[in-house]
Structures are given as structure tokens and as C-alpha cells.
Structure 1
């Protein structure tokens, strides 16, 4: 802010002048003080209310990273217990998630002369990262959310008196940590968080996820995409419709959402997963597979759905191949129909596709991965995925690098393999 810049400039100038004078008079007798001389007066430079508000937010963000709850809450109106509780919950939740960056980028929304200030605050954040991505580049910066803050003087001190969601939101909002009280379990590689109604499933899901992490850590090595830590959220029905803009597709039981360059979060629809142990295990492995194969993909990557979902199915069912999955009947019906696929590179299904068509799409994509792994080796399969999804190579270039074959040759061989095996 301008006020701080002036203060620093004046102090620096004084120090430089003092140094210059000392250098010039080093060999001269020390001057004698006279009665008229006095100590220099350093005047406080007033800051505007807007500068004071922005300074308050900077101090609050610094308190978050310093694990200073008292400093974090000091910015909040002490006369509002509910608001204090919300900020206290946010503080505890972010630290349970191993917050490593929390930065406000504030913008004033109203007239700076008004006694109540409205501020649009963009919050960029990271978890478990020593060096957070820089802010400002699409899909390569830190993830962020936007909040609308109200600040005014309370008892002679500026304080946050209201927190609301911004009218300008994205698919990364609202996050689970913004306004939900969560219960946590921490494993060696995975953090699992749940809403109150799903907290009884934390230990079970953590055990499943820790086992899945061993597989996915190995695959992350193939993909050159190591993960500091995996995060999984157990959503109840309300959270499922709310978190990250809400999920509305009825056939979805879990998803992984990229947090720009800071990995991904996994969200599970627990009401849909309860009662089917195999579905829970394959879903956790599948979604964690998305994290290691698709998160942090740069702008050159290609997110082909058949490849994205096929490799996640391959991971989710591992070590079982596609011939052992419950999607095999749908695949069999499709490859022996009059509209059987002629390529493994399937177009994405329509949004209103039937359950059978969706099942066949996922199954065919899984069969394609099993074919590639069986014919060319698992390492070559993940090289192909990496070349396409991360580097953006065309199919033929990626196939020649990974399989040492043109994609047309690979494609034809796997189409025949799927027809024979399904």
C-alpha cells in the first residue's frame, strides 16, 4: 500500500543519509550538541480506511500460515459469536488439510469514504506444498475462491463483520472447507474428511484409501506426477449437491476435481456407495487414479474422455482386468451389435445417454486399457497416457513413442482383441 511504501522509503532515506554523513565525517571531531538541537521527530503517516482494511486481511492471512488462531480471529468482530465460530472452524479445517498458502487479493466494491467497506476478496490457497504455484495464469496458478467481506469499525478497531459468497464464482466453489464443519482422519498418505452424518465411515474409507495410495503412488511415478498427499471428502446428500458447484448427474458416485496446478480433491457420494463394498473400493481407487493421471495437467494436455476414464477404470479394478469387471455384459452387447465400435478412441457419450450406454462406454474404455497393457506392457500404457494427456501429442505420435507402432496399428489390434475377449 502507498502508506507503507512511503514509510519504508523515508526510513531508508534517513539511513542512507546517516551512513553518508558518517562516512564523510569519520576522521572529523564529533560535533557538540547545542541546547537548540533535539532528537528528530518521526511522524506516523496516516493510512486510509481502505489501506487499513487491506492490511488487516494481510495480517489475518499471515496468522493462518503461522498457525496463530488468536491472530486469525482478531480480524473478526468479537461481538458476533456465530461469525467467530465460522472463522474458527475455517481455521481448524484448513490446518487439518495442511494449508501451505493462504493469500488475499482484495478489491474494494464501494466508495472508500463510506464507513462500511465492501471488499471482494480472492483467496488463493494450497495444501501440502512447499512452493505454491504463482497466481495469475489460467490452470497453472494456485486454486482460489472469492468472498465478499464487510468491514467496519467496531469499538474503535476495524473488523470483519460479515462474510458472504461472492456473486462471481467458479467450478472450484464452494469448497468443503469454507463453511462446513468436518471431521478428519489422517493416514500416512491420505487425509479423509467427512460431514457429521458420514463421519462414522471415516476409518473404513481411510483404510481403503491408504491401500489404494500404494498403487497410485507407483502410477504417479509412471506419470511423473508425484502427490504430496491425497485428500478425500465424504459428502452427504446436501454437500454432494453443493460442493464444487454441485453434482447433478444421477449415475455419478464420485469425482475428482482438479485444483489447477495444486493436485486434485476427491469427493465421494456416500449415500450412493453405502451397502456395496466392491463399489466403494473400486470408486476410491478410480478417483485417486484420476488424481495421479489427470491432476495438474498443463494447457497442452488432451483430456479425451475415453482415455481419462479408461485409465481410471484400469486403476480402479487393478489387478483385475476388464474381462472381470461388471461392465463386461454391456461391452459384449455393444461390440456384437450392428453399431459396434471401429476404434478404441470413442467419442464421449451424450449427456442424456442411457445407463447402458454409459456403462458400455466406461467398459469399452477399460477394455482398451487392458488391451494396451497386455500387448505392450503397463509402463508403455502409462507412457502413452502421459504423452497424450500431459504433453498433448497426437495419437500417432504418442503411440509411436510409447508402443513403437503407429496408432492405426495399435487401434486395429485392440478393436479385434476387445471383440474376442468381450
Structure 2
């Protein structure tokens, strides 16, 4: 079974974010194996916008900053109180961030009341296992009093992070925190983000064990620890393929891969994926996409082609999203081509479903191949297969470099496909489209 384009995650949002596409939030997905092996994924592509008011926090290392000046003259008394309290909270976050980066668990816990320590210990261990290399914490707006709890305040905090590579562009997550007021405010709770952009990150809610290679980081839960060595080897091999599809020749500093058990699949990044999804790549900002694999969806064949597919999304897609459903075939076709990794066309697993879809249920337009959440398995397989065969034909005709330039023009520059074809491929798209569809029909005839 597989997965495809869906609506935004059905979770409560702690932030307001603009979408990167006129058609809204989209999640392209992966190919499935026809005989019940779920080898498909979904790409959630949303814009990672910045909050309007970001109060400076700690960056990477060093002593926490001194609290800034108190209220500005225009503040009313209540706002002035909140502003001064927010400055003290920010100073505590700076101390905690420096402790995290310095490997000081006691210092990381010291800003919090004991009631928060179990959650913070788990979070600290997960982030250290992921080799957190940059961690910034800053207030987004002013703290607000918690109704019915005198002396307690809620502060929205933006965390920015890097794993392994300290100089990477940071990813971001916006999180609610709860504090007890005082000269040195005390942290009472850190909430899972429930972000509208991506949903809850694995390190926010799960214990993690991690393996790191030259190009990849692979994480899972302790119950699945035995899978890590094999997954890391597969991920490193897939990364070598995916690197060749990096638009502009700039692959990610590390591919981030999370291997989800049944409960984690339902929880990480908001859950709620179509039943046919075997994996997906989700943008988390800073040019990074984090890949999730469904442990229950992988059959005896393992994760090789799925990893190549998903890591190619991570290498090729822009962080702000792709233009819309009409380009789904190009996004998924390129990832399917990478997933196939040069195997002969007649070995592609979805040819029977391609033949079935050509026989009925499809209008013959590549821009109408995107899928609904409840699409049947044969429609999913057929749509991915047609996309793969169309992209493969364009690569056979023009070569991988020009195809990737065409992909960049359509998906990154957001040129209409007609203009991109004439500019990059030197031919009219109407003729190329008919040629691609004719090739697909010929392959399965």
C-alpha cells in the first residue's frame, strides 16, 4: 500500500504559519509494493516561517546573556511586568541551552522544578544521543498568566537546532512552556510542540537510540535498537544515491532518518498518515527534511528502495514546498527513479497497476496523477508507476543533468511546466507530454 497528497495535519497549532503553495499544504508520498508491502511515503511540504517577535536567546555556547533593560516607556504596567518576567525566563533558557550543549545534565535540570525533571531528563538524553550541535532558545512574544493558577505563566518558546553539524542552518520548533514566577523563574513543564508545520518531533516525546554515519543519522526507540546497524548501512548506501539528485549540487549536511514503531508512527510528526504510507519526508526548516520509516510497513525486502526514494526527496525538494498537485508526478517520479537505482524497467513492481490505470480511471494527464488519502492500493501503485516511467523517459531523452535542471525550474523556481520545458529542454511541453504518455503505454502494452 502507499500514500499521497493530503491536507494539513489534523492537530492543534501553537503557531501561525503561512503556507508555501497556493494550493495549501501537501504531502507527496512514496511508492508501495503491489503485493501488500508498504513502500510508499508522504512529503509534507510547508513553509517554515519565522514568528513575528523573537526575543534573543542563547546561540551555541558561552555564558548566558545578562537580562536586558526593563519596560519601554510605552508599556502599560501589566505589559511591563510581563516583559521583565520574560527577560528573566529568557536568561534561564540561555543557561539551560548552554548546559545542553556542554553535556551538563545537572545544569540542564537546574532551571526547573522537580516535577519537570523526568520529562527533561528524557528530552536531554534524546537530544544528546542525536548529537545536538546547535541549540538556540528564545521567547516568542511575552509570557501570559495561566488562568486559575496564581503565579504561573505560559511562554511560547522557539527552539532552533542542528544535529551533528554545528554550522548547519538551524531547524525550528515552537513550543509552549509553563513557569512559576520569581526573581529566577522556575520551569514547570515543556509541552510537545503539536506544530501545524510538522507535528511533534520524535525527540520531544520518545526515548531514542541513535547511530551516526558520514552522511546519515538514524534514530529509533530502544525496543528497535537491534535494527540500527542494518538501517545505518542501508541509509549510507541510499545517501550516496540521493546526493546525486541534490538540486544545485548542495546535498544535506546529514540525512535525518527516524524508524518508527507502531505507537511512534501514530505520534511522531502528528501521525494521521494514509494507511498505505510506508514512509515520508517532512520539512523542518533550515533546508532540512526529516525522514520517517514505518517499521510495520517494511517487508522482507527491507528499506533500500524506500530509503533511496525518501532521501532523494530530502536532497531535491525546496524547504518552502513544491508548487502544487500538478507537479506531483515530477516530484514522485524523480524519487521513484532514484529508488529503482538503475533496475531494468521490466523489474519495476508496479507495471501491472500501471496497465490497469491506463485501462480506465485516468484522464491521461500527468498533472492529474496525485492521490487522495483513501486511494486504493492499485491506484496508488499505478500513479507512482506512471510518474516513474514518465521521468525515466525524460532522463533517457535528455540525460539526468537536464532533467534535474527541469525539475529545479518547475519545483524550485516555480516556472510553469510549459516555460520550463522550452527553456531547459528546448521543446514544447505539449509534445513532450504526449511523448511521455505514449512511452508509458508502450512499456506496458
TM-score by length of 1: 0.78
Number of equivalences = 364
Separation (CA, whole Å) in 2 of partners of 1:144 and 1:240:
19
Q: 1:401 to 1:160 in 2, by over 3 A?
A: same
User: Does 2:136 match 1:102?
Assistant: yes
Higher relative contact order (CA 8 A, sep 6+): 2
Q: Secondary structure of 1:373's match? A: helix
State how 1:142-153 maps to structure 2 within 5 Å: 142-152=171-181
Contact 2:178 2:190 in 1 (8 A): yes
Report which stretch shifted further, 254-263 or 93-102.
93-102
Separation (CA, whole Å) in 2 of partners of 1:152 and 1:172:
31
Deviation of residue 338 (structure 1)?
4.8
Contact 1:263 1:295 in 2 (8 A): no
Contact 1:310 1:366 in 2 (8 A): yes
State how 1:145-164 maps to structure 2 within 5 Å: 145-152=174-181, 158-164=185-191
Q: 1:352 to 1:48 in 2, by over 3 A?
A: closer
Deviations along 1:230-278, one digit per CA (max 9) or x if unpaired, are: 11111011110111110331100101001133311000110121x4225
Q: 1:338 to 1:255 in 2, by over 3 A?
A: closer
User: Does 2:279 match 1:245?
Assistant: no
Q: 1:152 to 1:399 in 2, by over 3 A?
A: same
Report which stretch shifted further, 362-371 or 316-325.
316-325
Q: 1:285 to 1:91 in 2, by over 3 A?
A: same
State how 1:200-219 maps to structure 2 within 5 Å: 200-219=226-245
Deviations along 1:343-376, one digit per CA (max 9) or x if unpaired, are: 3333423332211111110111111111111111
User: Where does residue 176 of structure 1 map in the other structure?
Assistant: 202
Q: Secondary structure of 1:256's match? A: strand
Q: 1:339 to 1:192 in 2, by over 3 A?
A: closer
User: Where does residue 58 of structure 1 map in the other structure?
Assistant: 94
Contact 2:192 2:205 in 1 (8 A): no
State how 1:196-235 maps to structure 2 within 5 Å: 196-220=222-246, 222-235=247-260
Q: Which runs of 5+ in 2 are unaligned?
A: 1-54, 56-65, 71-82
Separation (CA, whole Å) in 1 of partners of 2:230 and 2:318:
25
Contact 1:182 1:196 in 2 (8 A): yes
Q: 1:57 to 1:342 in 2, by over 3 A?
A: same
Q: 1:116 to 1:339 in 2, by over 3 A?
A: closer
User: Where does residue 408 of structure 1 map in the other structure?
Assistant: 430
Q: 1:253 to 1:6 in 2, by over 3 A?
A: closer
Report which stretch shifted further, 396-405 or 180-189.
396-405
2:301 pairs with one of 260, 277, 280: 277
CA-based RMSD of the aligned residues comes to 2.8
Higher alpha-carbon Rg: 1
Separation (CA, whole Å) in 2 of partners of 1:104 and 1:348:
39
Separation (CA, whole Å) in 1 of partners of 2:168 and 2:93:
21
Separation (CA, whole Å) in 2 of partners of 1:321 and 1:311:
16
User: Where does residue 154 of structure 2 map in the other structure?
Assistant: 118
Q: 1:55 to 1:364 in 2, by over 3 A?
A: same
Contact 1:223 1:292 in 2 (8 A): no
Contact 1:53 1:151 in 2 (8 A): no
Higher helix proportion: 1
1:385 pairs with one of 400, 403, 407: 407
Deviations along 1:169-192, one digit per CA (max 9) or x if unpaired, are: 324221001121101111111111
Separation (CA, whole Å) in 1 of partners of 2:91 and 2:305:
48
Contact 2:337 2:392 in 1 (8 A): yes
Runs of 4+ in 1 over 6 A off after TM superposition: none
State how 1:41-56 maps to structure 2 within 5 Å: 48-56=84-92
Separation (CA, whole Å) in 1 of partners of 2:209 and 2:92:
30
Separation (CA, whole Å) in 2 of partners of 1:285 and 1:358:
19
Contact 1:61 1:104 in 2 (8 A): no
Q: 1:271 to 1:237 in 2, by over 3 A?
A: same
